[in-house]
Amino acid sequence: MSETSPIKLTRFAWLSIGAALLTITLKMSAYWLTNSVSLLSDALESLVNLVTAIVALVALTIAARPADEEFAFGYSKVEFFSSGFEGGMILVAAGSIVAAAIPRLVHPQPIEQVGQGMIVSVIASLINLGVSRVLASAGKRFGSITLEADAKHLMTDVITTGGVLVGVVLVYLTGWQRLDPVIAMLVAANILFTGLRLLRQAGLGLLDASLPPTDVQAVRDILQPYNDKGVEFHALRTRSAAARGFVSLHLLVPGGWSVKRAHNLAEDVESQIRQSIPQITVFTHVEPLEDPSSFEDTSLDRE
């Protein structure tokens, strides 16, 4: 298979797992040093990073399997389950952060060894930033929503850590100890929205959402010149299965054309679409223009 094969992507999942283990250790150290609940919330989110990175590894391994009799269209759609799981785990993390913060609102506690805790957290944040950029680049290059979701989650972690560190400094400077759990709750709200976005993305994929509008327009642009030559098309449908996309359409040609000529046209159209959109599978159905029945199956169910 080509270098875009999903099996090649598991190395990025292993990178994410390694980064999660390292940042969990660093952030828990920062919490033990400072006794800050907002830093604890940051560490809990990194724990979620580890779980979701493991799930991503499993999903990418399954997605790499070739199509077989049971799954004739391949396994790429499993990435939507990974993205949905990641979104769900983020929601769990948000709830855990709130649960840890509420007691500190009622019984605030002082923050200790701020300087050392901040240094450790900054190191952890820089690690996440670097890994997030690598995953985002790989996700875009290979069309993997699993890597893109992991990258977004890690970037959320970076932003979260930045907010937490600002809050810890403010608590240290102002002495207002309840600001620490308040910031933790703001962190929870921030990652909550990230989780909801990932759940929405997974839901759209499982419901066979169409390809992005830019890809659909690219298909239409390819077909337009043939319209000018008397060839029509309809029943254009697209769907996304994570890294792989699917396009189906009907080509209406003059009834006097030979089978070979119509076949060659279909081959040309399919080839242009595959060249325009990576990781795409194209299905065409040739029909005679003069036959009224050709226009009875433009909808999903034949009229």
Does some domain include residue 279?
yes
Average pLDDT, the chain: 82
pTM of the model: 0.63
Contact 197, 87 (CB under 8 A): yes
* Same domain assignment for residues 66 and 126: yes
Q: Tell me, what's the pLDDT at 62?
A: 87
Same domain flag for 57 and 168: yes
- What is the mean predicted confidence (pLDDT) over 287-302? 80
- Predicted confidence (pLDDT) at residue 18 exceeds the cutoff of 80: yes
Q: Where are the alpha helices (DSSP H) in the chain?
A: 10-34, 37-63, 78-106, 114-142, 145-174, 179-206, 213-227, 259-276
What is the tens place of the pLDDT at every residue in 135-155? 989 888 887 878 887 887 788
State whether 89 and 227 are in the same domain: no
Q: Measured between alpha carbons, how far is residue 210 from residues 189, 205, 244, 297 in Å?
A: 30, 9, 12, 19
Give the per-residue pLDDT at 130: 93
- As a whole number, mean pLDDT of residues 67-95 equals 82
- Side-chain half-sphere exposure of 13, counting CA atoms within 13 A: 23
Do 182 and 220 lie in a common domain? no
Maximum CA extent, the chain: 86
pLDDT at 3: 42
Residue 123 lies in a domain: yes
pLDDT digits (tens, 9 = 90+) for 85-137: 878 877 877 787 777 778 777 777 666 556 676 788 788 889 989 999 999 89
| Beta carbons of 269 and 250 less than 8 angstroms apart | no
User: Residue 194 and residue 190: Cα distance in Å, rounded?
Assistant: 7
- The dihedral over CA atoms of 210, 214, 216, 222, expressed in degrees to the nearest 10, equals -160
Quote the domain boundaries for residue 255: 213-295
Total domains in the fold of the chain? 2
> Are 114 and 217 contained in the same domain?
no
Q: Give the confidence band of 4 by pLDDT, cuts at 50, 70, 90.
A: very low
pLDDT in tens, 246-255: 999 999 999 8
pLDDT at position 207 is: 81
Mean pLDDT score, 63-70: 84
In a domain, 301, yes or no: no
